[in-house]
C-alpha cells in the first residue's frame, strides 16, 4: 500500500515537473518572439526616421550654395532611392505610403532648383524609444528624436555694402511703402552683393507610429509628429 502511494506521488511530481517545463518553454518562446518583433519594429521605425532625416539630402557637392542647380540624373537617383525606402518601411493599406512618397518627392524636387535657401544636412544624433506595444499583428511606438538641421542661404554681404546703403535696407519699413516703392526696394536689394551663410538649428521631435505585420514584415500604417518642449520653431 505504501509503495503504491509512493509511486503515485512520484508520478504526480513528474507530471508537475513536465507541466512546469512546458510552461517555461512556452514563456521563453513567447519572450523570444516578443524580442524578435521588437527588434524588427525598431528597424522599420529607424529606417523611416533615416528617410525623413537624411535620405532626402543631396550630396555635399550640390549643397555648398543655394543657387546650385542639381543635375537631373542626381535628382532621378534620389527619387528612386526614396521610392524604394517608402516601399520598404511604409504600408499602402490605408494610403500612408502614397502620402509619404508624395511629400518626400515634392521636397526632393523643390530643393533641386536654385533658390535663396537650401537644406544641407538633417542629422539625427539620438533616438530614444519610449514605448513599444505589440498586440498580435499590430503595434504602436512612441519615440523621441534629437539632432541638428543645417542649411545654407544667400544673405547680404554686410562687409562690402556701403554703410549708407546697408542702413537704408535694414531700417526700411515695407508696410509704409506703396506697391511701386516696394517693387523698387526689392529690385535694389536683389542687386546688392550676397554671400553664403550657414545656419544650424537643434531639433527635438516626438513621433507616434502605428504598424502592422504584412507578409512577415512590420510596416508603418500611420504616424503623428510634434516638436518637443523647447524645440518649437
Same domain membership, residue 84 and residue 121:
yes
Residue 9: inside a domain, yes or no?
Answer: no
Same domain membership, residue 164 and residue 151:
no
> What is the 8-class DSSP label of residue 90?
B
Domain that holds residue 187: 158-192
CB-based contacts of 159: which residues, under 8 Å, 6+ apart? 195
Span 104-135, pLDDT tens digits = 999 999 999 988 889 999 999 999 999 999 99
Counted domains in the chain: 2
Q: Which three cell numbers stand for residue 174?
A: 515695407
pLDDT band at 148 (very low <50, low <70, confident <90, very high): very high
pLDDT average, residue stretch 157-163: 81
Residue 32: inside a domain, yes or no?
Answer: no
Same domain membership, residue 216 and residue 165:
no
Q: How far is CA 226 from the centre of its chain?
A: 12
Residue 25: inside a domain, yes or no?
Answer: no
pLDDT average, residue stretch 152-179: 79
The proportion of the chain whose per-residue pLDDT surpasses 90, expressed as a percent, equals 60
N- to C-terminal Cα separation, the chain? 85
In this prediction, residue 199 carries a pLDDT of 92
In this prediction, residue 63 carries a pLDDT of 93
Per-chain mean pLDDT for the chain: 86
The proportion of the chain whose per-residue pLDDT surpasses 70, expressed as a percent, equals 86
Higher pLDDT, residue 17 or 202: 202
Same domain membership, residue 92 and residue 66:
yes
pLDDT band at 156 (very low <50, low <70, confident <90, very high): confident
CB 48 within 8 A of CB 127: no
Q: Using the predicted structure, report yes or no on whether residue 188 has a pLDDT greater than 70.
A: yes
In this prediction, residue 86 carries a pLDDT of 97
Cα distances from 68 to residues 91, 112, 115, in angstroms, run 35, 8, 8
Residue 214: inside a domain, yes or no?
Answer: yes
In this prediction, residue 27 carries a pLDDT of 46
Residue 53: inside a domain, yes or no?
Answer: yes
Burial annotation 185-213 (CB, 10 A radius, 16+ → b, else e): eeeeeeeeebeeeeeeeebbbbbebbbbb
Same domain membership, residue 162 and residue 137:
no
Apex CA 197: angle with CA 196 and CA 200, to 5°? 145
Residue 13: inside a domain, yes or no?
Answer: no
Same domain membership, residue 152 and residue 67:
yes
Mean pLDDT check: name the lowest of 47-56, 145-154, 182-191, 201-210: 182-191
Span 10-66, pLDDT tens digits = 555 555 555 545 444 544 545 778 889 999 999 999 999 999 998 999 999 999 999
Same domain membership, residue 61 and residue 134:
yes
Same domain membership, residue 129 and residue 95:
yes
Amino acid at each position: 500500500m505504501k509503495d503504491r502511494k509512493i509511486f503515485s506521488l512520484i508520478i504526480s511530481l513528474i507530471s508537475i515537473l513536465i507541466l512546469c517545463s512546458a510552461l517555461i518553454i512556452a514563456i521563453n518562446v513567447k519572450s523570444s518572439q516578443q524580442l524578435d518583433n521588437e527588434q524588427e519594429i525598431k528597424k522599420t521605425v529607424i529606417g523611416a526616421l533615416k528617410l525623413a532625416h537624411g535620405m532626402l539630402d543631396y550630396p555635399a557637392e550640390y549643397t555648398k550654395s543655394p543657387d546650385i542647380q542639381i543635375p537631373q540624373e542626381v535628382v532621378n537617383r534620389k527619387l528612386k532611392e526614396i521610392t524604394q525606402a517608402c516601399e520598404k518601411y511604409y504600408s499602402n493599406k490605408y494610403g500612408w505610403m502614397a502620402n509619404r512618397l508624395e511629400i518626400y518627392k515634392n521636397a526632393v524636387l523643390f530643393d533641386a532648383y536654385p533658390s535663396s535657401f537650401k537644406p544641407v544636412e538633417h542629422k539625427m544624433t539620438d533616438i530614444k524609444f519610449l514605448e513599444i506595444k505589440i498586440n498580435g499583428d499590430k503595434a504602436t511606438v512612441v519615440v523621441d528624436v534629437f539632432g541638428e538641421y543645417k542649411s545654407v542661404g544667400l544673405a547680404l554681404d554686410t562687409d562690402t555694402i556701403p554703410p549708407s546703403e546697408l542702413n537704408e535696407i535694414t531700417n526700411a519699413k515695407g508696410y509704409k511703402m506703396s506697391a511701386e516703392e516696394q517693387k523698387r526696394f526689392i529690385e535694389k536689394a536683389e542687386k546688392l552683393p550676397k554671400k553664403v551663410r550657414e545656419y544650424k538649428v537643434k531639433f527635438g521631435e516626438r513621433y507616434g507610429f502605428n504598424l502592422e505585420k504584412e507578409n512577415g514584415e512590420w510596416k508603418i500604417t500611420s504616424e503623428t509628429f510634434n516638436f518637443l518642449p523647447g524645440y518649437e520653431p
